[in-house]
Structure 1
Amino acid sequence: MTIVMIGHKGVPSRSGGIERCVEELSTALVKRGVRVISFDRKWYVGDEPSPAGVLRRWSYGIKTKHLDAITHTFTAIILARRDRPDIIHIHGVGPSLLAPFARILHPRAKIVSTFHCVDRTHAKWGVVARAMLRMGEAFTCRFADRTITVSETLALYCLNTYECQPCVIPNGVRIEAGSDMSLLSVFGLKPYKYFAMVTRLVPHKNAHLAIQAHKILATQRPDLAAQYPLVIVGGSAFTGEYAKELEAACRAYPHVRMVGEQYGSMLSALQEFALAHLSIASSEGMSISLLEAMAMCRPVIVSDIPENTGVTGTDAIIVRTGDVDNLAHALETVCDLPEDERFRMGVRLAERVNERHNWDVIADDTLALYREISSSPVSSFFRMKAV
């Protein structure tokens, strides 16, 4: 069986939950004897080798905020013809705008589309882009042979909005603890003496609110603010102006550090030795960085959106979305918790993620779906309902 992965930026992942998802899923499928081809963007992966066993093809496109994903998806669908795929797996509602094109160009292949997030709600998009993303949602549900969502919340959204009953296959996490804590000295950090926020620098992730909340903490408990700085890990995603605003805010406030995109052992160290992690987005699909923090037994502070609370249950510190004062209080609460209580919170979170977000189980479920639709007869071009 040949599977072509399209719509993501590339593997191995440098940043972004979709890219991490595609990397883990692809490598797990390869171990199960599947031929997996990833269409990558040169600007994203650079000279990094492809993960073991995953075949790489280059897509080509126009690297701008609005055209990058759709143009790379377009060329990938065309170039995939030479590989004669059994399954074309499109990731994201934006790239899924081209699902009808994929069905025309690959009449013998089955199309799978994963609905990762309601992207149109993100603040970085204008009116036209949001309209196109809304259309992409409809195409994800109407033109794919099978639609996948990463959470029950998204599945309910698809059912209520598009009369589509998708298959729910969550994101997973694969973490090995034991990072080198001496790496923290590069940024002048001490183990368990900082808050970490691992995220793309886009407005809906609310890094600006985290900075504001930490400033409130500094006015109320200056001792804690100095002892536990906020560390923001990540880069922009065609949101350069927003990133510059964050950098300016950090220059004006001494207890926040922006360390840019980090990978490999450095990223693992920053995640593993944080006092607690913040995942406070206004909208999400299923945050990989949140899953990773939980897997490392770290306490987490999350916004009260269902996509977060559905993952953490009541084992996280939950704050009202967009409420800076509530977030500042949560930061203070974590600092004042006894160490053994923070440890127990981390253990409960790790147990949840290990039980529900195992990549081996996810790969088995995805492969079963591939095999099911591969053996089914050719479906109609336009599905009124997904099953």
Structure 2
Amino acid sequence: MNYLCLKTVLSHMDAGTRIVLQKQCPRIQRIDKEQSAKIGTLQLPPGFLRIDSLTLRLGIVRYYSGGKTPDWVQEENANGGVAFDVGDFRGLAQSQIIPRRELDRAPTEDEKEEKEAAEQRLREMDEGSDQIDEEEKEKFQKIIETFNYRVWISELEYEEFVRLTVTSRDGLLTIEHVKYVMSLEDTWKYLIKKLIKPTVLVENYLMTSGTEPEIWPFGPTLRVANLRAEKKFWSSRDMHLLRNALSSESNFPLKSLETLPRRSVGDFHDHLAQKFIINDAPNQNLIQKLKCPNIHFKDYSFKSIPFEMIFGILKKETSKQYVFETSNSRCVEDLIEYAKTDRRLPEERIVQGYERNQYPIQFAFNLHGVMDLVGEVKRREVYEVFYYSIHIRCQ
């Protein structure tokens, strides 16, 4: 195509395709810079960048070469890593970092003395003729176990990496890892400049000095000029071309991860993700669009769950499963109230588990008289906060 044709076509092309195209066809880059982009929506909440239906998330993950990964690290890695700088790059605000550092610190001298005193008391108990107080003995054993755990976890060797997770609304997903040698703020600056500038005219492009876990350096959002088009979904080809977004440039001082190669998660056709975690409310339109088999909604509102639609989808697609997770303890009470109106759910079984505080609460019920569904209410503790999840799938 000649210059005039390309200029005309680019003026009507959506921003998502242009971002991919100008990386693959260097000859259009000059024309591309002359035509302002047409992004339907561009949001930058803390931790991730959203361009239309595409979401790019940066986080710091840990890789333990010995294979023993603490549970809380697995939790962080599964969620894409922490969205604030750690180690040498951490900022001045410590509210999120200090509790996290408590999880794998070495024992203090006071804890060492407490452990030695507990060992001495246990020896005295074993050698003495008096009746042993089992509760006191368990307390001393707990002190020793806690000390030994602190020694073990503080000696584990690990490396930290920057993880870029790219997802689209229909579940397409790729992941890239690069070495953590630059702050998240500088990494975001590079990524935004590479994907957007100068393709997009951005107003109020704000930066702050330093990296603060509590203060997002770009402000609550970026406003983009000349908004005329919107790309609803990104194809597998778009996702594939964006897979090396961080490490493809030779002048960027991050190197591709050697011990843990970057990869696409899930071996489905078109890189369809096995599990899709989303923070949006589980509205009907979104549930219809998501194609992957395992869909996980976080921080949802119970009233927003369209149970009838979900039951209808499960009737047709028996391999699917849905998880709704929240820190609101009322979710179990809300489920009980819903069971009073939808008599297919075993209200008595759910109430029994709730009143006895027995988690997980497992229940089963018949759907449309042709198939059985199983449900489960789980509770887990993360950083002294309880999270509740409702899991629904076919038996």
| Larger gyration radius, structure 1 or structure 2 | 2
Structure whose residues are more often helix by fraction: 1
TM-score, with structure 1 as normaliser: 0.24
TM-score, with structure 2 as normaliser: 0.24
